[in-house]
A and B are shown apart, each in its own frame.
Chain A
Amino acid sequence: MAKEIIELIVNGDRYEVAVEPWRTLAEVLREDLNLTGTKIGCNQGDCGACTVLMEGRSVSSCLTLAAEAHQREIVTIEGLAQGPEDLHPLQEAFVEHGAVQCGYCTPGMILSAKHLLDHNPTPSEQEIRQGLSGNLCRCTGYSKIVEAIGAAAAKMAPAGEGE
Chain B
Amino acid sequence: MNHNPKIIGASIPRLDGKDKVTGRALYTDDLKFPGMLYGALHRSRLPHARIKKVDTSAAKKIKGVKDVVTGADTPQIKYGNWRLVPGSQDELPLAVDKVRFIGDEIAAVCAVDRETAIKAAEAIEVEYEELPAIYSVEEATAEGAPLLHDESPGNVSLTREISYGDLEGLLAQADYVREDFFKVHAVSHAYLEPCSSIAVPEEGGRVTLYTSTQTPYIVQCLLASTLDIPENHVRVVKTQVGGGFGGKMEMRPWEFAAAFMALRTGRPVKFTLTRSDELAFGRRRHPMSIRSKVGFTKDGKLLAKDFEVMLDGGAYNAMGPTATFLCGTFGNMLYNFQAYRYRGRHVYTNKPPASAMRGFGAPQAAFAQESQMNMAAEELGIDPIDLRLINAMETGDVIPDVATISSCGFKESLEKVRQVSGWDAKRKEKKPGVGLGIGCFSFISGGVFNWFNTKYNFAAAEVTVYPDGTAQLNTMACDIGQGPDTVLRQILAAELGIGIEKIRLVSMDTALTPKADLGTWGSRVTLMNGNAIIDAAKKIKDMLKPVLFDHLDLNQIHEIAFEDDRVLVKANPKKSMSFGECVYHALRGRRGEPLTARGYYTPRDKGLVSPAFSFGAQVAEVAVDQDTGLVTVTNTYTAHDCGVAINKMAVEGQLEGAIQMGLGYTLSEAFVMEQGRTLNTSFLDYKMPAAEDMPPSTYVEVETYEPEGPFGAKEAGEGLAIPTAPAIADAVYQATGFRALELPITPEKVLKGIGRLK
Interface residues of A (CB under 8 A from B): 30, 34-44, 46-47, 49, 76-78, 80-81, 84, 87, 90-92, 94-98, 100-107, 110, 126, 128-130, 132-133, 135-146
Complex CA–CA separation, A98 to B17 (angstroms): 8
Rounded to whole Å, the gap between the CB of A113 and the closest CB of chain B is 11
Whether the pair A141, B657 counts as a contact (CB closer than 8 A) is yes
Q: Which 3 A-B pairs have the closest CB atoms?
A: A37-B23, A102-B481, A104-B242
Chain B residue with Cβ nearest A76: B23
Rounded to whole Å, the gap between the CB of B323 and the closest CB of chain A is 20
Given contacts A77-B23, A103-B242, A142-B691, contact A98 B18 (CB under 8 A): no
B709 within 8 A of A: no
Rounded to whole Å, the gap between the CB of A51 and the closest CB of chain B is 12
Whether the pair A43, B274 counts as a contact (CB closer than 8 A) is yes
Rounded to whole Å, the gap between the CB of A156 and the closest CB of chain B is 16
Chain A residue with Cβ nearest B24: A37
B64 within 8 A of A: no
Complex CA–CA separation, A44 to B275 (angstroms): 8
Ordered by A's residue number, 8 sampled pairs between the chains whose C-beta atoms are within 8 Å are A36-B23, A39-B193, A101-B657, A103-B481, A104-B191, A142-B656, A142-B691, A144-B652
The A-contacting residues of B in range 691-727, CB under 8 angstroms, are 691-692, 694, 697
Whether the pair A139, B688 counts as a contact (CB closer than 8 A) is no
Complex CA–CA separation, A135 to B689 (angstroms): 10
Whether the pair A103, B682 counts as a contact (CB closer than 8 A) is no
Whether the pair A100, B276 counts as a contact (CB closer than 8 A) is no
Whether the pair A95, B192 counts as a contact (CB closer than 8 A) is no
Whether the pair A98, B653 counts as a contact (CB closer than 8 A) is yes
Complex CA–CA separation, A34 to B688 (angstroms): 31
Rounded to whole Å, the gap between the CB of A103 and the closest CB of chain B is 3
Whether the pair A139, B22 counts as a contact (CB closer than 8 A) is no
Partner of B275, one of A42, A110, A129, A138: A42
Whether the pair B683, A47 counts as a contact (CB closer than 8 A) is yes
Rounded to whole Å, the gap between the CB of A95 and the closest CB of chain B is 4
Given contacts A41-B194, A98-B652, A104-B192, contact A143 B697 (CB under 8 A): yes
Complex CA–CA separation, A145 to B655 (angstroms): 14
- List A contacts of B193 (CB < 8 A): 39, 41, 102, 104
Whether the pair B275, A43 counts as a contact (CB closer than 8 A) is yes
- List B contacts of A128 (CB < 8 A): 691
Whether the pair B18, A95 counts as a contact (CB closer than 8 A) is yes
Per-residue 0/1 for B657-669: is the Cβ within 8 Å of any A Cβ (1 yes, 0 no)? 1111100000000
Given contacts A104-B27, A104-B193, contact A136 B242 (CB under 8 A): no
B30 within 8 A of A: yes
- List A contacts of B691 (CB < 8 A): 128-130, 132-133, 135, 137, 142, 145-146
Complex CA–CA separation, A38 to B29 (angstroms): 11
B83 within 8 A of A: no
By size class, the interface of chain B is 35 or more
Complex CA–CA separation, A133 to B242 (angstroms): 20
18 other contacts beyond A95-B21, A136-B690, with CB at 8 A cut-off?
A: A39-B192, A42-B682, A44-B275, A46-B682, A47-B683, A49-B192, A77-B23, A97-B13, A101-B657, A102-B240, A102-B242, A102-B480, A102-B481, A103-B481, A132-B692, A135-B690, A138-B660, A144-B653
Complex CA–CA separation, A30 to B25 (angstroms): 13
Whether the pair B21, A133 counts as a contact (CB closer than 8 A) is no
The A-contacting residues of B in range 622-673, CB under 8 angstroms, are 649-650, 652-653, 655-661
B72 within 8 A of A: no
B119 within 8 A of A: no
Whether the pair A77, B22 counts as a contact (CB closer than 8 A) is yes
Whether the pair A138, B21 counts as a contact (CB closer than 8 A) is no
Whether the pair A102, B243 counts as a contact (CB closer than 8 A) is yes
Partner of B21, one of A30, A42, A47, A100: A100
Rounded to whole Å, the gap between the CB of A96 and the closest CB of chain B is 6
Complex CA–CA separation, A52 to B658 (angstroms): 28
Complex CA–CA separation, A106 to B192 (angstroms): 10
Whether the pair A98, B11 counts as a contact (CB closer than 8 A) is yes
- List B contacts of A107 (CB < 8 A): 21, 23
Chain B residue with Cβ nearest A84: B22
Chain A residue with Cβ nearest B27: A104
Per-residue 0/1 for B267-304: is the Cβ within 8 Å of any A Cβ (1 yes, 0 no)? 00000001110000000000000000000000000000
Whether the pair A101, B481 counts as a contact (CB closer than 8 A) is yes
Whether the pair A130, B692 counts as a contact (CB closer than 8 A) is yes
Whether the pair B483, A101 counts as a contact (CB closer than 8 A) is yes
- List B contacts of A92 (CB < 8 A): 21
B684 within 8 A of A: yes
- List A contacts of B655 (CB < 8 A): 141
- List B contacts of A36 (CB < 8 A): 23, 26-27, 29-30
Given contacts A91-B22, A95-B13, contact A139 B481 (CB under 8 A): yes
Rounded to whole Å, the gap between the CB of A85 and the closest CB of chain B is 9
- List A contacts of B688 (CB < 8 A): 136, 138
Given contacts A98-B650, A136-B690, A139-B481, contact A144 B656 (CB under 8 A): yes
Whether the pair B276, A44 counts as a contact (CB closer than 8 A) is yes
- List B contacts of A84 (CB < 8 A): 22
Complex CA–CA separation, A102 to B190 (angstroms): 13
Whether the pair B653, A133 counts as a contact (CB closer than 8 A) is no
Complex CA–CA separation, A136 to B194 (angstroms): 14
Whether the pair B661, A140 counts as a contact (CB closer than 8 A) is no
Whether the pair A35, B13 counts as a contact (CB closer than 8 A) is no
Per-residue 0/1 for B67-101: is the Cβ within 8 Å of any A Cβ (1 yes, 0 no)? 00000000000000000000000000000000000
Given contacts A44-B275, A129-B691, A141-B660, contact A39 B22 (CB under 8 A): no
Chain B residue with Cβ nearest A98: B649
